[in-house]
Structure 1
Amino acid sequence: MNKKRRLALGIGAAIAPLLVVTVPAGSASAHGYISNPPSRQAQCAAGTVDCGPIKWEPQSVEGPKGLTSCSGGNSQFADLDDDSKGWKVTPVGSTASFSWQLTARHATSTWQYYVGGNKVAEFDDHGAQPGATVTHQVNFGGVTGKQKVLAVWNIADTANAFYACVDVNIGG
């Protein structure tokens, strides 16, 4: 093998690990969603509401951290952002348990719950990897009536989060 060819192979071998780290990977197709009370994507999967492609992959509502949409910014899941679709509203008390069904267990920074744009609860997992299900007891404080809860699962080792919206009637 000539000297130039060995040099080129050596440079290629040195750069390859950097490319693996710096080239963005496509998002995976399965992760997690709230199964109880039924989130909007759980209702889609069950056929309770007609929602398009989210029916086949309710666990895939992933997007950059910091979003406030039920779709996680995914245009193919825009039906989840439509408040007029006839979502089933679950009656809950001043506190409610939210159960996540996880199909891929990621290291987790936090789980956050918002009502009307205000954070009502946050659970810090400090990078732990959860099991196949996770349940949080959320206290709504003084919030009452029909509300849309935005739940966010922030992944510890990526810039992404998973999003779920749950329609509830607090105190109803």
Structure 2
Amino acid sequence: MKKRLIAAASSVALTPAILVALPGTASAHGYVNAPPSRQAQCAARTVQCGSIKYEPQSVEGPKGQRSCNGGNGAFAELNDDSKGWKAASVGRSATFTWKFTARHRTTNWEYYIGGTRVGNVSGNNAQPPETVSHNINLGNFSGRQKVLAIWNIADTGNAFYACIDVQIG
């Protein structure tokens, strides 16, 4: 009986690790935590938000979206520019740091201001470490801007999205 209990407990304990390791499993999650993205501000309770405050790493949607919520209706409040988001002061370039709670092979990371792509960093089809930082030249933009950061994962049709409010200059 004792051996059965140990075997059952071991399989329960190993199940999450096995699920994360399976190829093609949607286990990748990540967001920009510095400067604080909108979902990071929600998680820190800087701005009052709904369920995203519990799972800032979960703003996932089909590749090609250009919205803060990645087309995910559950997180629509991330698109609300009047919500009181705090803007981080940055210069003509800024370093954006991604935090990954589950890592996935990466095609690339893209950064947009409005419809203009200001950054593209290759992921080399590799699994990233737990945190990744990119120094992005923000071009000729100045004043308050919203940067859309996109993590395009390599082996599904999905990407992860984060908007970061910045004050350039």
TM range (shorter): 0.7 to 0.9
Alpha-carbon distance between aligned partners in 2 of 1:26 and 1:93, rounded to the nearest angstrom = 39
Following TM superposition, by how much is the alpha carbon of 1:125 offset from its aligned partner in structure 2, in angstroms? Answer: 1.4
What is the aligned counterpart of 1:82 among 72, 80, 83?
80
Please give the residue correspondences for 1:115-134 in structure 2 after superposition, counting only pairs within 5 Å: 115-134=113-132
> Mind listing any 5+ residue stretches in structure 1 that lack a counterpart?
1-24
Q: Structure 1 vs Structure 2: percent identity of aligned residues?
A: 62
Please give the residue correspondences for 1:160-171 in structure 2 after superposition, counting only pairs within 5 Å: 160-171=158-169
Aligned residue number for residue 10 of structure 2: none
- TM-score, length-scaled by structure 2: 0.84
What is the aligned counterpart of 2:95 among 94, 97, 109?
97
Alpha-carbon distance between aligned partners in 2 of 1:81 and 1:26, rounded to the nearest angstrom = 28
Which secondary structure state, in structure 1, belongs to the residue aligned with residue 66 of structure 2? coil
RMSD between aligned alpha carbons? 1.3
Alpha-carbon distance between aligned partners in 1 of 2:26 and 2:128, rounded to the nearest angstrom = 20
Following TM superposition, by how much is the alpha carbon of 1:122 offset from its aligned partner in structure 2, in angstroms? Answer: 0.2
Alpha-carbon distance between aligned partners in 2 of 1:108 and 1:119, rounded to the nearest angstrom = 18
Alpha-carbon distance between aligned partners in 1 of 2:26 and 2:49, rounded to the nearest angstrom = 21
Which secondary structure state, in structure 2, belongs to the residue aligned with residue 77 of structure 1? helix
- TM-score, length-scaled by structure 1: 0.82
Larger radius of gyration: 1
Following TM superposition, the consecutive aligned residue runs of length 4 or more in structure 1 with deviations greater than 6 angstroms are none
Following TM superposition, by how much is the alpha carbon of 1:101 offset from its aligned partner in structure 2, in angstroms? Answer: 0.5
Alpha-carbon distance between aligned partners in 1 of 2:91 and 2:129, rounded to the nearest angstrom = 27
Alpha-carbon distance between aligned partners in 1 of 2:63 and 2:36, rounded to the nearest angstrom = 23
What is the aligned counterpart of 1:156 among 149, 154, 157?
154
Which secondary structure state, in structure 2, belongs to the residue aligned with residue 137 of structure 1? strand
The structure in which a higher percent of residues are strand is 2
Alpha-carbon distance between aligned partners in 1 of 2:84 and 2:140, rounded to the nearest angstrom = 26
Residues 26 and 107 of structure 1: CA distance in aligned 2, closer, same or farther (over 3 Å): closer
Q: CA offsets, 1:28-60, max 9 Å, x none?
A: 5x6100000000000000000111000000000
Aligned residue number for residue 46 of structure 1: 44
Alpha-carbon distance between aligned partners in 1 of 2:78 and 2:25, rounded to the nearest angstrom = 22
> Mind listing any 5+ residue stretches in structure 2 that lack a counterpart?
1-23
Which secondary structure state, in structure 1, belongs to the residue aligned with residue 102 of structure 2? coil
Aligned residue number for residue 67 of structure 1: 65
Alpha-carbon distance between aligned partners in 2 of 1:122 and 1:40, rounded to the nearest angstrom = 21
